[in-house]
């Protein structure tokens, strides 16, 4: 089993390659702005690896899914997303995909729906879908139990930065429940939507518990973020705590 994270360019989410003995899946290709570059980077990492059989999306947002149509056509492989995202993706919806905030069109893609518990076989291992709504209604993670790897999407966008719940189809109580689901897993590597991989069970648990505590406080405040946190940029998919959690 091989898991490779390709850091996102500019606004792009991290693109993750997961390969087993028989198949490779590409997770979250990013925006359509850099789709040709992402394609080249992915193919450069396929030496001695099985061919690509599909594209998996953690959620519908443009910075995650904008390049999916182009890569799907190039490799002639299907795109898979949670059932709640299918209509928005197929219609090229500008609002709930957040493409309008990036001043971009959302390339329409005919995605195949998955649901909680769907398993993608890789050969010598698998990736299981965990529906983790909150950032969006369709937000999902991919759990590779054999390696203790959780590809979390924007459930944890980057270390020290909690996901936003105030975007279309977001829900704060759902986001808190999803973090608590992640806490019940024995995660050894957590790949956020944008930042560097968080490694080690102790460090991952500390990060998730900090999110749990902070989100619970926000629930008590009826969804209001702490006054010290700056207003996020319209294209930003996370909040920035002040002071930093790492201080």
pTM exceeding the 0.75 threshold for the entire prediction:
yes
17 near 24, Cβ under 8 Å?
yes
Q: Residue 246: what pLDDT? A: 64
- What is the C-alpha to C-alpha distance for residues 46 and 108, in angstroms, rounded to an integer? 27
Domain boundaries, the chain: 2-220
- pLDDT per residue as tens digits for the range 166-223: 999 999 999 999 999 999 999 999 999 999 999 999 999 999 999 999 999 999 999 9
Tokens of 139: 């937000």
Q: Is it the case that residue 247 has pLDDT exceeding 70? A: no
- pLDDT per residue as tens digits for the range 41-94: 999 999 999 999 999 999 999 999 999 999 999 999 999 999 999 999 999 999
Q: In what order do the strands lie in the sheet with 149-153?
A: 119-121, 126-131, 140-144, 149-153, 189-192, 198-199
2-220: CATH topology: Metallo-beta-lactamase; Chain A (3.60.15)
């Amino acid at each position: 089993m091989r898991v490779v994270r390709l850091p996102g360019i500019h606004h792009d989410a991290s693109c993750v390659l997961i390969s087993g003995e028989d198949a490779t899946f590409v997770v979250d290709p990013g925006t359509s702005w850099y789709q040709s570059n992402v394609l080249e980077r992915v193919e450069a990492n396929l030496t001695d690896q099985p061919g690509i059989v599909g594209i998996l999306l953690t959620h519908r947002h443009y910075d995650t899914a904008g390049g999916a149509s182009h890569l799907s056509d190039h490799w002639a492989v299907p795109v898979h997303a949670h059932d709640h995202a299918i209509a928005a993706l197929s219609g090229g919806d500008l609002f709930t995909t957040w493409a309008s905030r990036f001043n971009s069109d959302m390339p329409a893609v005919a995605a195949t729906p998955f649901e909680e518990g769907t398993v993608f076989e890789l050969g010598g291992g698998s990736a299981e879908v965990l529906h983790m709504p909150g950032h969006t209604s369709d937000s999902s993670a991919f759990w590779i139990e054999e390696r203790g790897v959780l590809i979390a999407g924007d459930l944890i966008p980057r270390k020290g930065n909690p996901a936003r719940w105030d975007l279309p189809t977001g829900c704060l109580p759902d986001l808190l429940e999803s973090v608590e689901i992640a806490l019940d897993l024995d995660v050894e590597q957590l790949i956020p939507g944008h930042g560097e991989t968080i490694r080690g069970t102790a460090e991952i648990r500390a990060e998730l518990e900090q999110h749990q505590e902070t989100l619970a406080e926000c629930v008590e405040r009826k969804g209001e973020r702490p006054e010290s946190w700056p207003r996020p940029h319209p294209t930003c998919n996370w909040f920035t705590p002040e002071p930093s959690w790492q201080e």
